[in-house]
Chain A
Amino acid sequence: MKKRHHPVVRITHWINVVALTIMVGSGLRIFNAYPAFARRGETFCCYPFERKPIPASLTFGGWLAGARNWHFAMMWVLVVNGLVYLGFVYTHGEWRDLVPRRGVVRDAWEMVRFYVTARKDHPRQGKHNALQRMVYFSFPILGALAVITGIAIWKPVQLAFLTHLLGGYVWARYWHFVVMLLLVVLTFGHIFMVFAVDPYSMVSMVTGTYKEQWSPEERNARPFVHLLPAHQPAGAGTTPSSTPPPAA
């Protein structure tokens, strides 16, 4: 049976789970050493929690030096793993399932309507629905932005042209933080939807095994609704779809 995800996709996915957790955790510990953005002697416009530290339980590294050591070591794992993933999906063709197509915004809106029960039946989808396409396409972009903004604050003098492009050190550090927040929010959304809509996808991301009757489209699955397979929607035939069954 064909694997839903190629081993390279699965392996890079789980390496990313560990790498991102350590990058965010150590990054937050680094941030806590000066949990603010203002230059000394100035104020900063755009962060409501200036000088309030992140809770220690969300940080990793124990202290600033430890956090920096982890951050500057794990960044290589993140980048190499990311490049392997991107190189693979490009050369192997999986990018076709991930790149947004014409009408993706409309399709994504239909997915939202379905999830909030404004629409009865699951929109037709390929491997991923439109919401997933948008999120999975955003992840590598946000990852690249996190790396670029990180490099800008790592070398604000030796790579001053890059730091300058981002508005200078103070703003580059802010954008690095904002990109991290976006990554974290989308990741939590992803994890929630995996558990709430398609827990079978966890199996497919480990062993690659997936059965069509498990798919959210077959189950007409919403968060926490129709989690078990072989559900027949009330009064319908077999596959729920937006096209009506042939006339009797």
Chain B
Amino acid sequence: MASGGALGAAILAACDSMGPRSAKPLLEFAERENEVLERSLFSHRSMDVPRGGALAAGQRFPAYFISDRVPVWDEATRGVWRLAVGGMVRTPLSLTLADLSSLPRVGYRLDHFCVEGWTAVATRTGVRLADLARLAGVQAGAHYVDFESFDENYHESWDIESAMHPQTLVVYAQDGHYLNSAWGAPARVYSPVKLGYKNTKYLTRIMFLPRRTGGYWSDKGYEWYGGV
């Protein structure tokens, strides 16, 4: 009888179901505990190095956004694009693309890990987020960072440790060219320590905060930590 029950549960468990709603607290518990483990596994010394023979995705790099059409910054109505850096900082910043381009530049050939399961290689060039944070004078109590965008209400917040990883960049160029609109122009955050959906494109503001603020996909059910 016990075996029949288990088999029955097993059969019902498949068939494209979302599972019993009563399991939700357990799933949320698992996500919280997994985050503790993931944070302990995280190190600033872990670097992403794409496999030697891997080809860059180039033009085949996918273009994902949540607006109906590719988000394009309209200078005529919104003025010159600026990236705001604020929150728990001594000196809030407001940087144009020219400002960003003139800051110390870093480029890495990196893997992109999409939550869907695909990867793509691209060279990402920009300013190290840790350098921007230092420039703005981030304060001690800022444990989280929120990345806001002009792609509808898309935003994602991170733990500050991942934001300060040496490979976390405010990217304005990909594969040697300034970003185009399909890939997040004028600037996006990118780090190979986070899944793609955590890496907000079409940036408007980076906020250093004492508490986490969720995120577009995180609020819908994807893990908030989203680390690789």
- Residues of chain A touching chain B, judged by Cβ–Cβ distance below 8 Å, are 14, 17-18, 21-22, 25, 29-31, 33-34, 36, 38-42, 56-66, 68-70, 72-73, 76, 154-160, 168-170, 173, 202, 205-206
Which of A61, A64, A66, A158 is in CB contact (< 8 Å) with B115?
A: A64
Question: When the two chains form the complex, which single residue of B3, B56, B57 contacts A14, counting CB atoms closer than 8 Å?
Answer: B3
B57, B117, B120, B220: most-surrounded residue (chain A CB, <10 A): B117
> Which of A18, A34, A41, A157 is B116 in contact with, Cβ under 8 Å?
A34
Known: A59-B16, A61-B18. A41 touches B60 (CB 8 A): yes
Q: Taking A41-B56, A41-B57, A59-B16 as contacts, is the C-beta distance between A17 and B119 under 8 angstroms?
A: no
When the two chains form their complex, are residues A39 and B6 in contact, meaning their CB atoms are under 8 A apart?
no
Q: List 21 A-B contacts (CB under 8 A).
A: A17-B10, A18-B6, A34-B114, A34-B116, A39-B119, A41-B57, A42-B55, A61-B18, A63-B221, A64-B116, A68-B115, A70-B23, A72-B34, A76-B30, A155-B227, A158-B228, A159-B41, A160-B47, A205-B3, A206-B1, A206-B2
Q: How far is the CB of A23 from chain B (nearest CB, A)?
A: 10
Specify which of A30, A62, A206 is in contact with B16 (CB 8 Å cutoff): A62
Chain A nearest CB: distance from B10 CB in Å?
4
* Tally of B interface residues using CB under 8 Å: 58
Identify which of residues 1-38 in chain B touch chain A, using a CB-to-CB cut-off of 8 Å.
1-3, 6-7, 9-11, 13-19, 23, 26-27, 29-31, 34, 38
Query: Nearest B residue to A205 by beta-carbon distance?
Result: B3
Q: Given the complex, which residues of A lie within 8 Å of B60, measured CB to CB?
A: 40-41
Q: B111 at the A/B interface (Cβ < 8 Å)? A: yes
Is B131 close to A, CB under 8 A? no
Residues 112-135 of B, flagged 1 when their CB comes within 8 A of A and 0 if not, give 011111111100000000000000
Check B193 for interface membership: any CB of A closer than 8 A: yes
- Measured in the bound complex, the distance between the Cα atoms of B106 and A82 in whole Å is 46
Contact check, B111 vs A169: say whether CB atoms are below 8 A apart. Answer: yes
Residues of chain B contacted by A206 (CB below 8 angstroms): 1-3
Q: Determine whether the beta carbon of B31 is less than 8 Å from that of A72.
A: yes
What's the dominant secondary structure at chain A's contact region? helix
Are A70's CB and B19's CB within 8 A?
A: yes
A57 to B222, CA, bound (A): 22
State the Cβ distance, A121 to closest chain B Cβ, in Å: 31
Q: A39-B57, A156-B111 are in contact. List 18 more A-B contacts (CB 8 A).
A: A18-B10, A40-B118, A56-B16, A58-B14, A60-B13, A60-B17, A69-B27, A69-B223, A72-B31, A73-B27, A156-B113, A157-B113, A158-B38, A158-B43, A159-B41, A168-B51, A168-B54, A206-B1
B14 close to A62 (CB less than 8 A): no
Distance, CA A42 to CA B17, complexed state (A):
33
Give min CB distance, A183 to chain B, whole Å: 14
Query: A42-B55, A68-B222 are contacts. A157–B192 as well, Cβ < 8 Å?
Result: yes
By the criterion CB–CB under 8 Å, are B13 and A39 in contact? no
Q: How near does chain A come to B16, taking the closest CB pair, in angstroms? A: 4
How far does the alpha carbon of A21 sit from the alpha carbon of B222 in the complex, in Å? 22
Instruction: State the Cβ distance, A47 to closest chain B Cβ, in Å.
Output: 13
In this complex, what residue of A is CB-closest to B60? Answer: A41
Cα–Cα, bound, A50→B3 (Å): 37
**Contacting residue for A157 out of B13, B193, B222, CB 8 A:** B193
Q: Are B48 and A157 in contact (CB under 8 A)?
A: yes
Given A39-B55, A72-B34, A18 and B13 touching (CB < 8 A)?
Answer: yes
Q: Does B96 contact A (CB under 8 A)?
A: no
Contact B41 A202 (CB under 8 A): no
Top 8 closest A-B pairs, CB basis? A62-B18, A73-B30, A40-B120, A65-B221, A34-B117, A41-B57, A33-B116, A40-B57
**Is B62 in the interface zone, CB < 8 Å from A?**
yes
Q: How far is the CA of A101 from the CA of B3 in the complex (A)?
A: 30
Q: Are A17 and B7 in touch, CB under 8 angstroms?
A: yes
> Among the listed B6, B46, B113, B193, which residue makes an inter-chain contact with A169, where contact means beta carbons less than 8 Å apart?
B113
Instruction: Give Cα A66 to B41, complex, Å.
Output: 24
- Say whether B46 contacts A157, CB under 8 Å: yes
Q: Are A39 and B31 in contact (CB under 8 A)?
A: no
Please state if B193 and A14 are interface contacts (CB–CB under 8 Å): no
Q: Select one of B2, B30, B118, B223 contacting A34, CB under 8 A.
A: B118
